[in-house]
Amino acid sequence: MCFSAALALPLLPNLEKNSANCTSNCSGKDEDSNKGQSVKLSLPAYKWRLVIAYDGTRFSGWQYQQSTPTVQCVLEEALTKKTKINRKELCLVGASRTDAGVHAWGQVAHFVTPFNYETLDGIHRAVNGLLPSDIRVREFSPAAPEFHARFSVTSKIYCYQVYNSTIMDPFLRHYAYHSEYKLDAAVMRDAAKHFVGKHDFSAFANTSRNDRVPNPVKTILRFDVVEKGPLLRLEVEGSGFLYRQVRNMVALLLQVGRQAVPPDIVVRILESRDRKELAKYTLLLPPHGLSLETVKYNEEHLILPTDSPASSFGRHHSISKCKVLFV
């Protein structure tokens, strides 16, 4: 339930940034880009932060496209129906522009409204009720004017799952890559250590279809290879990622795990800064094994505004006690 915007409202000075992504150009998807055009909104306004999970199997990625279904498009439709605000004025911005077929447990987005909410449980439940079952808003929170889903990011965590067995688990076929080759997780960990640190990752980036030239220097904070029975989880945390960088890094680690190449091949390919050098040893892995797990933020930008409603994490239903007459 919302109340009138005639009250004293906070100003959002950063709504007119060129990268606000209010009208999206979807030609060329980066794993961590969100370039768009600015739209001037009627200020003042309120900003809201969403944590979103989705099964990316049937979607053409996160970013809005007119011709194919995307997560942003479906989410904007639900928000538009509930808030009665058109998509340009909602100015929905995602933290990461996940590719077609890639999943997310912790995608983050923000949008704005010209009115406040007394509580968020109602709109949270209503928006999820309008969404298909393969998209869910896990958290609905107020956001500070300084918060930006993309520019406030300090790091992101992606996970690529590999099912390492002779026979694929049919329940994981949409969420893990099947490797019939026996993988040596120990040597994969040794190779993954070479990715950690600040490097030029040009050799691990596919060419994006947009006209931007991203900075190829990124910082990898950790790269873990976790064994859970036949399931391998390759978890990588970094300051940012180039287009298809994670899937290319994991592809090389699988070659190392098969003992087709030595662990120090990572160093050689990094130093080459040449995508053609990586292509000599491996192909790009499919998207279905990849998931955006977590997006971390500048803590100061996560401080809730004063007099804001409490964050909503969903509510359990309860059964009212009633008297049952037995005959």
More confident residue, 168 or 13: 168
Judge if 131 and 251 occupy the same domain.
no
Instruction: Give the residue among 282, 230, 229, 287 at the shortest CA–CA distance from 256.
Output: 282
Lowest mean pLDDT among 4-18, 122-136, 234-248: 4-18
pLDDT of amino acid 45: 86
Sorting pLDDT into bands at 50, 70 and 90, what band is 317?
A: confident
Q: Which domain holds residue 190?
A: 154-292
Which residues, 6 or more positions from 103, have their beta carbon under 8 angstroms from its beta carbon? 54, 55, 56, 57, 175, 288, 290, 291, 292
**Given 55, 99, 121, 169, the catalytic residue:** 99
pLDDT at residue 318, rounded to an integer: 76
> Does residue 275 share a domain with residue 258?
yes
Q: Are residues 134 and 234 in the same domain?
A: no
Is pLDDT of 29 > 70? Answer: no
Q: What is the mean pLDDT of residues 238-255?
A: 97
Give the pLDDT band (50/70/90) at residue 11.
very low
Q: Which of 308, 302, 306 is nearest to 115 (CA)?
A: 308
Q: Is 99 a catalytic residue?
A: yes
- Confidence bin at 6 (pLDDT 50/70/90): very low
Q: Among residues 121, 151, 181, which one ends one of the domains?
A: 151
- Per the domain annotation, does 322 fall within a domain? no
Task: Indicate the residue among 129, 151, 173 that finishes a domain.
Answer: 151
Q: Name the CA radius of gyration of the chain, rounded.
A: 22
Is the confidence at residue 20, as pLDDT, over 80? no
pLDDT at position 327, please?
Answer: 56
Q: What is the reported pLDDT for 314? A: 86
Does 12 map to a domain?
A: no
Dump pLDDT digits (tens) for 269-300: 999 999 999 999 999 999 999 999 999 999 99
pLDDT of 325 higher than 80: no
Task: Mark whether 210 and 91 lie in a shared domain.
Answer: no
Do 130 and 191 reside in the same domain of the chain? no
Label residue 307 by pLDDT band (50, 70, 90): confident
Are residues 175 and 215 located together in one domain of the fold? yes
Q: Which two tokens stand for residue 320?
A: 């009212």
Shared domain for 195 and 159, answered yes or no, is: yes
Q: Please give the tally of structural domains in the chain.
A: 2
Q: Check if the beta carbon of residue 134 is closer than 8 Å to that of residue 2.
A: no
Residue 324 included in any domain: no
Bridge partners, residue 137, by sequence: 52
Same domain, 138 and 193: no
Average pLDDT over residues 193-202: 97
| Nearest of 200, 208, 246 to residue 33 by alpha carbon | 208
The answer as to whether 83 is a domain residue is yes
Judge whether 318 lies within some domain: no
Dihedral, 105, 106, 111, 115 alpha carbons, nearest 10:
90
Judgement on whether residues 145 and 207 belong to the same structural domain of the protein: no
The reply to whether 316 falls in a domain is no
Residue 163 lies in a domain: yes
pLDDT bracket for residue 81 (50, 70, 90) = very high
Q: What percent of the chain has pLDDT over 70?
A: 82
Angle at 132 between CA 126 and CA 137, to 5 degrees: 55
Last residue within a domain, chosen from 151, 181, 206: 151
What CATH number has the domain bearing residue 61?
3.30.70.580
In the predicted model, is pLDDT for residue 28 greater than 50?
Answer: no
The mean per-residue pLDDT over the stretch 172-181 comes to: 97
Q: Is residue 57 part of a domain?
A: yes
In this structure, the answer to whether residues 162 and 282 fall within a common structural domain is yes
> Which of 158, 240, 233, 166 minimizes the C-alpha distance to 198?
240
| pLDDT value of position 44 | 60
Is 160's pLDDT higher than 90? Answer: yes
State whether residue 272 is helix, strand or coil: helix
Strand-pairing partners, residue 205, are none
CATH number, domain with residue 258: 3.30.70.660
What is the average pLDDT value for the chain, to the nearest integer? 87
Q: What is the mean pLDDT of residues 70-90?
A: 95
Which tens digit of pLDDT belongs to each residue from 107-154?
Answer: 999 999 999 999 999 999 999 999 999 999 999 999 999 999 999 999
Cβ partners under 8 Å of residue 247, min gap 6 = 160, 284, 285, 286, 287, 290
- Structure confidence at residue 315 as a pLDDT band (50, 70, 90): confident
Question: What six digits make up the tokens of 167?
Answer: 């026979």
| Same domain membership, residue 192 and residue 123 | no
Residues 127 and 226 in one domain: no
3 state SS for 133-196: CCEEEEEEEEECCCCCCCCCEEEEEEEEEEEECCCCCHHHCCCCEEECCCCCHHHHHHHHHHHC
Length of the chain: 327
